[in-house]
Structure 1
Amino acid sequence: MPDSQASTPDLAANPLRPGADWQQLVRVALLGTRQSPDALPTVPDLTSNPETDEAPREKHLLQAAGALSLIRKAGYLPAPGTGPTVPPAPAETQATLGPNGAQALNVLLEGQYTDLLPDFLTNLAEHQRRVPHPQLVYLLEHARTRPALHPATAAVLGQRGEWLAAQNPDWTPILAASTHPQSEVVWETGTLPQRVGYLISLRRQRPEQARELLAATLPQEPAKTQAALLATLRENASAADVELLSQYLGSKSKEVRQTVLPQLACLPGNPLPERLWQRAEPLVQLKKGLLSKKLLVELPAADWDKTWLLDGIEQRDARFQGEKAALLGQLLALIPPQRWATHWDLSAPKILELAAGTEWATLLLTAWAEATLLHQDIEWATSLLHWRQPRKNPVPLPLEGIARLLTPQQMAELVLPQLSATSYFGPDAHWLPLLMLVPGPWPERLTGRVVELLREALSHPERLYRIQYATSQLLEHMARVVPAAQYDLCAQPLQPLLQDVPYLHNSLARLLNTLHFRQQLDAALNEPPGPG
């Protein structure tokens, strides 16, 4: 019997590299054993050795593949290295989800009801609960390619989840979105997303220190980094930021200029808003007659030059056609829209009506809608959403963004009178686009009225072909915005229709199933925590 020591492979002299050797095998196999110049990896103590055996390379490749496959499955660990050791994860400070909650989270991570995951994670953090340890890797992998999910994910990782994310460079951007205070080392050595996250966290606690840090660092940074770091001044913004932002309004980089311009336009205590007003006010005048009023619009007489750039006005802007029209459009998009209402002593709806009657309707309405978004003007947002454009030549406005300025209750109050005054539901209902913008949670009055209209419309099979698409879109929207507590309010009137409207069966079933699942998610937030 051979000596057992003689058959033991000398791993120190010929160390295994399962990952690298496997990749080498894959390259040889893809190119072909005859065409590939790469040497085959040597597996210690394998009966066939490509260095000495004259057998075909195909045989060596198959034997090495089989051996490496078994090694990988067996969980081979390389020899201990001499690098720094990773400290263990700190003890957890928050309770975990219970078993029902963990099961519901699995459903979300497996791809069902994925649009509910962000809200569930947010609610989980508000209830000071964390994700169970066995699900951390699945959540981190799911969120890795979804930046919008990073803040909500970071808030529910717990101590072990944060420790785990720090070990994988692909997961560290998730930690950068955390609201927890971060180490100063991140600012010196971290990636750009990590540095941005550190600055945002610092702005929330010590805005003066963050501003001083920026002032000292920005001159040495490239333009792209400058833009990303300057954007952090939106957090906890104040008039004290004006001096630093103004230094970069004349930057050679358009990205940097367009980052600081909207911030300066909204901050008090700087001369930019007044300079913009002095340029714009002579160009848009209100002419008052005995019985009517009219807006008179003129384009700037002078061509663009670098003096415009000092006020943040670019030579061209894709939102507005024509070079001089772009100059006026940018001015109007930066000035608070309410300033025009005060200047002319007119309401926002009246100004919109007058603007629609000019040949510059598209420019005026587009610019004032952009200004409404920039300055988050609730009165103008309400007016823009309530205002019904003329059917001829309607202007495409960013109504979805404008609707987000209002609370769900404000949006519901805007659309409810229109729903109460109608008994008709169809794709051409003038209130339908507005209803589709109402976010959750819907009040019971709104849900009840919409369900009444749907039940009435679906009780006429001869009309289904006309309303099928609009109804399915509305049902999908309701699945996201109707509170789970209103399940019975929807189920009792609509469930009997499941068999009567086969073309809409899936949409109706999805609404009811989603509301029922959301009830389970809500219950999971108050479930007793699981082990660990």
Structure 2
Amino acid sequence: MSTLMSAALLGTSRTAASFDDLPVDVRSAATRLGGDPAVVLLEAAALARAYRAGGAGSVTADLPAPAEDDPRLVLPESSSVHLLSMLAAKATLLDEWFALALERNFRAPDHLVAELLAYARASEVYRERILRIVGERGQWLAARNSEWSMLIRNRGGGVDGWRHGTPAERLRWLADTRRSEPAQASEELTQSWETERGEHKAAFVAALVTGLSADDVPLLERALDDRRKDVRREAATVLARLPQSPFGERMARRVQEWMRIERTQSGVRLAVEAPEEIDAAAKRDGIEDRPNPHTDYRAEYLRQAISAAPLSLWNNMIGQPSAVLNLSLDRTWEPILHDAWSTAAVLQHNSEWAQAIFRTRGLSTDRRLLPMIPPRDLADLLLSGTGDANILHPDRAAIFQTLPRPWPDDITASVVAQWERAAARRADGGARSAEFSRYKYSESLRLAQASFPYSAVTVLGRAAERARDLDWQQAFVKTANAIVHRKTLLEELT
């Protein structure tokens, strides 16, 4: 249309309008126009504008087969509207809302499926739960929009997605198939391993964590010999989840070579004799040479070996986990060993060791272990401290966030009491009053909205009545109102 614009600017008396840069259909119609050149110019411009406004020309296409019927209950309209608003606000209530909606076997109404798929594409956190809400109809729609291909989930059918898909599609197929048919997924990856591109192998190996078993060991051992460091590292990490594998046995032998038990008059202690250098076999098993320039490389050798060795090794050498954790250790090696034992407990999902570490380390427990600790033990630790056990403290915050919701009444009362002490300090003023502003506690207030039991509304109401600081008074009221709103939203699903 630029030639028409030029003719309009110069005037039809000075230059003739050209239709060469117009689309073929518009050009064909414009060349049949006649009369005053200025009128022809305007009519051609109108044709071009109408063509653009009309979009693509009509084409023929085969109608797809209708989506399968979804027999689940349709979400109430009010719940559907609230779901969209919660997704837009990234509300803390979403976890609890999704859990209840899926438990009650609800599905999204058809007119919201497309909008929910758009949220699923943008939000990895809630993606899988959204896909469960939209169900098979969501899968049907996602298959008809290339931008939503990442949302398509394999249902255990053929292997075309693996053999002919893009790298991203192949990874999704592998991950999905590992959930339902792990042996099939492992067999396909084994057959194609030698021809896989190096930059994709590490992600494929990581996907084997789902459905992991001793049957995957041969493939993972092959991955330890790969030329790429990231592939070897991922294979070692996955193998560490199989403590009874040959890999675990090799790591156990190294630990026994690098550590010894000494019996002294004061008791039993662990002595460390970490090597100055590691051999090729250790490097093949993922023990890296000087991986951290700011840490003693011998400590890193030991940390990696203990992290990957079966925890049963220590039971056989010394006894119960509590006995191991209470051994006398050199101060230099103590944090290294406790970190390695924590990592091993996480990788091997050993709840006995996790609980023993929790009893020994308390608030210093590695947060990765907290989901394996009984909720009452977590609550008791939070309630056992002296002074102001501030919920904003990083160690305590991790425990609070791990507690199942809704929190117990005694934990709720403890948190509200902490807030009330802060509110009183704020009202009293003084040089440090800014430290007790309710804005400093905004994260814990927000967490409480999704974690407090409904009975907390009364407790918060009384706290608001006692508060002498206006901001804190409003914070108590706002938190109580949020809990009432949460109760309303969840009751819509019952």
Q: Structures share a fold, TM > 0.5?
A: yes
Query: Which residue of structure 1 aligns with residue 384 of structure 2?
Result: 417
Distance 2:448 2:180 in 1: 38
Deviation of 1:410 (Å): 4.1
Distance 2:58 2:392 in 1: 71
User: What is the TM-score with the length of structure 1 in the denominator?
Assistant: 0.75
Deviation of 1:268 (Å): 5.1
SS of 1:359's partner is: coil
1:102 aligned partner, one-letter code: S
Matched, 1:131 2:137: no
- Structure 1 residues 509 and 291, CA, compared in 2 at 3 Å: closer, same or farther? same
- Structure 1 residues 438 and 266, CA, compared in 2 at 3 Å: closer, same or farther? closer
Deviation of 1:313 (Å): 1.7
Distance 1:160 1:434 in 2: 38
Residues 320-357 of structure 1: CA distance to partner in whole angstroms, max 9, x if unpaired?
724433222211221244633552346548636744x5
Please list, as runs of the form range in 1=range in 2, the aligned pairs for 1:166-181 lying within 5 A after superposition.
Answer: 166-176=143-153, 180-181=155-156
Counterpart selection for 2:345 from 352, 361, 372: 372
SS of 1:285's partner is: strand
Query: Which residue of structure 2 aligns with residue 326 of structure 1?
Result: 300
Contact 2:382-2:389 at 8 Å conserved across structures: no
Distance 1:437 1:84 in 2: 51
Distance 1:300 1:446 in 2: 48
Query: Which residue of structure 1 aligns with residue 486 of structure 2?
Result: 518
2:485 aligned partner, one-letter code: F
Residues 161-206 of structure 1: CA distance to partner in whole angstroms, max 9, x if unpaired?
2211111122121223x7x445543333334444344334433443
Query: Which residue of structure 1 aligns with residue 447 of structure 2?
Result: 477
Deviation of 1:62 (Å): 8.1
Deviation of 1:155 (Å): 0.7
1:367 aligned partner, one-letter code: A
Matched, 1:440 2:418: no
2:224 aligned partner, one-letter code: L
1:482 aligned partner, one-letter code: F
SS of 2:162's partner is: helix
Deviation of 1:101 (Å): 0.8
- Structure 1 residues 398 and 486, CA, compared in 2 at 3 Å: closer, same or farther? same
Deviation of 1:100 (Å): 1.9
Counterpart selection for 1:78 from 54, 57, 69: 57
The answer to which structure has the higher helix fraction is 2
Contact 2:382-2:396 at 8 Å conserved across structures: no
Cα RMSD (Å): 4.1
Please list, as runs of the form range in 1=range in 2, the aligned pairs for 1:37-436 lying within 5 A after superposition.
Answer: 39=21, 44=26, 67=50, 70-71=53-54, 78-81=57-60, 84-109=62-87, 111-176=88-153, 180-267=155-242, 269-301=244-276, 303-318=277-292, 321-337=295-311, 339-340=313-314, 342-345=316-319, 347-348=321-322, 351=325, 354-355=328-329, 357-387=330-360, 399-418=366-385, 422=386, 424-426=388-390, 432-433=396-397, 435-436=399-400
Deviation of 1:424 (Å): 3.6
Query: Which residue of structure 1 aligns with residue 16 of structure 2?
Result: none
Contact 2:314-2:321 at 8 Å conserved across structures: no
SS of 1:288's partner is: strand
- Structure 1 residues 492 and 341, CA, compared in 2 at 3 Å: closer, same or farther? farther
- Structure 1 residues 133 and 250, CA, compared in 2 at 3 Å: closer, same or farther? same
Distance 2:152 2:493 in 1: 23
Distance 1:467 1:341 in 2: 48
- The answer to which of 233-242 and 182-191 deviates more is 182-191
1:451 aligned partner, one-letter code: V
Contact 1:349-1:387 at 8 Å conserved across structures: no
Contact 1:286-1:293 at 8 Å conserved across structures: yes
Distance 1:405 1:513 in 2: 33
Higher relative contact order (CA closer than 8 Å, sequence separation 6+): 1
2:383 aligned partner, one-letter code: L
SS of 1:212's partner is: helix
1:169 aligned partner, one-letter code: S
Please list, as runs of the form range in 1=range in 2, the aligned pairs for 1:2-17 lying within 5 A after superposition.
Answer: none
- Structure 1 residues 218 and 515, CA, compared in 2 at 3 Å: closer, same or farther? farther
Give structure 2 stretches of 5+ with no counterpart.
11-19
Distance 2:129 2:493 in 1: 15
Deviation of 1:156 (Å): 1.0
Residues 275-328 of structure 1: CA distance to partner in whole angstroms, max 9, x if unpaired?
112112232334332225544323314x23432223222224349724433222
- Structure 1 residues 389 and 181, CA, compared in 2 at 3 Å: closer, same or farther? closer
Distance 2:484 2:397 in 1: 26
SS of 1:278's partner is: helix
Distance 2:456 2:261 in 1: 52
Contact 1:299-1:328 at 8 Å conserved across structures: yes
User: What is the TM-score with the length of structure 2 in the denominator?
Assistant: 0.80
Residues 74-107 of structure 1: CA distance to partner in whole angstroms, max 9, x if unpaired?
xxx62223x5543332223222101221121132
Deviation of 1:266 (Å): 2.6
User: How many residue pairs get matched?
Assistant: 473
Query: Which residue of structure 2 aligns with residue 8 of structure 1?
Result: none
Distance 2:415 2:170 in 1: 47
Distance 1:60 1:343 in 2: 93
Give structure 1 stretches of 5+ with no counterpart.
1-23, 391-396, 527-532
Instruction: State, as a whole percentage, how many aligned pairs show the same letter.
Output: 23
- Structure 1 residues 242 and 502, CA, compared in 2 at 3 Å: closer, same or farther? same
